[in-house]
Structure 1
Amino acid sequence: MKWLPFTYQSRDYDLSHLDSFHWYYTAKARGKRPEHTYRFQVKFSMHCFTRDPLEGEKVSEELWYQGPDEKRMFCFDRYQLSRQLPEIIRSLGERNCYRTPHNNFFTIELTDREGNRVEYEIYFDVTRTSRKGWLNLVVQSAYVRTENYASTQPEKLKIGLDVIAHTRLTRKEIRHRR
């Protein structure tokens, strides 16, 4: 997927940092599982740089971004933070990941570019592809919790990317552990 740039007031906002890419993640040997390199096709949804208008918010027609399946309001804050997403995704193997009750996952980046403490929640899913041995990693949404986007953060059930990748690739169930 290649995202078209967004133009607002004669300024272009390049979205090429959110174009799909291949990523190889090597999980260390763990228990009975030997070291394994997982191959991912990484994709980003438009929810990483757009949002729904707030209740009662009037939105200029210029701020709407038309994606392949929906139209949403371009969000300058989400756009700025989205520039970090490829780097964050490439470091998922070293990060805490959590499972949600919706059977997807999230991780949290705790600082923004200025070094301020924020909760930048990044929701993603991992699925098998039709290409043998490959997995899709789709970043479904990414945003900072604010008063307008109060926390609906699910109970945090910690899980490693190695477990996510292994269970998705082998079609096994992820067991709940507390």
Structure 2
Amino acid sequence: MIHPDKRMLGAQLFGRIDPYVFSGVWAKNKIMSLSEAYFPPLYVDGQLYEFDHLNPFQLVVPSKLARKDLVVDIKFTNHCFSYGDEDTDADEGVLFDQNGKRRLFCPDRYELSLELPGILEAMNSAPVKVRQTTARRNWSHVIQVDNDELPYDGPYYVFFELKRASREDGDDLKLTVESAYHEKEGYDPPRLLGRMGFQLLCGKVYLKQPVSTKR
């Protein structure tokens, strides 16, 4: 069961689904796939992992502030299914991110990443709020994981950057999911600032309005 900000907005991997959010979501909010095999398949320990679920797609966000439906181009980075690796000699599951930094495939992050498209879709609901990070350039959506089939419970953090698209892009906004990971025991949670409705945030970014939140 997932409940972002204690609301029942979930993905099936985690348990129950809120019918208000997940009834016909793929058609309801006009999610459109844009490409195939954005990340190539990966063999780790003899198992094939595929990443079609993380292909780029578009989400149509209704914005009262902008007085139009905003087309949001969504892409992911491999941080959603890998972790930083600078010290090991591993030769399997090795990846390099967009900045050329070495990373290792993470089965736990991969398992959670299977639901990221649904989580992004669920954000496109008027009650859903996201939190600004202390860097003030990106945002986090926090989901509570509670499922007996998973080896961990607790917060799952989805970090994203949202920018206005250029005129020639053919869409209105660019959203990049920069990372997504569950909170580990012994590690401090990320420091986050105030909340803002996701749909309101989209409207403000599109109109180039200030988006700073209170601490």
Q: Sort the TM-score into its range (normalised by shorter chain).
A: 0.7 to 0.9
Distance 1:76 1:59, change over 3 A: farther
Q: Percent identity?
A: 23
| Equivalent residue in structure 2 for 1:165, among 177, 189, 202 | 202
| Equivalent residue in structure 1 for 2:182, among 141, 144, 159 | 144
Q: Which amino acid aligns with 1:170?
A: L
Pairwise CA distance, 1:11: 1.8
Write the distance in 2 (CA, Å) between the matches of 1:34 and 1:16.
32
Unpaired runs of 5+ residues, structure 2, are 1-34
What TM-score, normalized by structure 1, do the two folds share? Answer: 0.84
Pairwise CA distance, 1:59: 4.4
- Structure number with higher relative contact order (C-alpha < 8 Å, ≥ 6 residues apart): 2
In the other structure, the counterpart of 2:27 is none
Indicate conservation of the 8 Å contact 1:24/1:39, yes or no: yes
Indicate conservation of the 8 Å contact 1:110/1:120, yes or no: yes
Indicate conservation of the 8 Å contact 1:129/1:135, yes or no: yes
SS in 2 for 1:140: strand
Distance 1:111 1:35, change over 3 A: farther
Unpaired runs of 5+ residues, structure 1, are none
Write the distance in 2 (CA, Å) between the matches of 1:102 and 1:157.
12
In the other structure, the counterpart of 1:120 is 156
Pairwise CA distance, 1:111: 1.6
Q: Deviations over 1:117-173 (max 9, x none)?
A: 32100000100122255101100100011036x134223311111221112111121
Write the distance in 1 (CA, Å) between the matches of 2:59 and 2:70.
8
Q: Deviations over 1:66-92 (max 9, x none)?
A: 445423111111000000101000111
In the other structure, the counterpart of 1:62 is 92
Q: Which amino acid aligns with 1:176?
A: T
What pairs up with 1:1-178 in 2 under 5 angstroms?
2-27=38-63, 29=64, 33=65, 35-53=67-85, 58-70=88-100, 71-94=102-125, 95-103=128-136, 104-111=138-145, 114=149, 117-130=153-166, 131=169, 133-147=171-185, 150-177=187-214
Distance 1:174 1:34, change over 3 A: closer
Q: Which amino acid aligns with 2:104?
A: M
Pairwise CA distance, 1:175: 3.8
Write the distance in 1 (CA, Å) between the matches of 2:97 and 2:213.
35
What TM-score, normalized by structure 2, do the two folds share? Answer: 0.71
SS in 2 for 1:62: coil
Distance 1:155 1:92, change over 3 A: same
Q: Which amino acid aligns with 1:101?
A: T
Write the distance in 1 (CA, Å) between the matches of 2:45 and 2:121.
33
Indicate conservation of the 8 Å contact 1:93/1:160, yes or no: no
SS in 2 for 1:156: strand
Indicate conservation of the 8 Å contact 1:124/1:137, yes or no: yes
Indicate conservation of the 8 Å contact 1:105/1:125, yes or no: yes
Pairwise CA distance, 1:93: 2.7
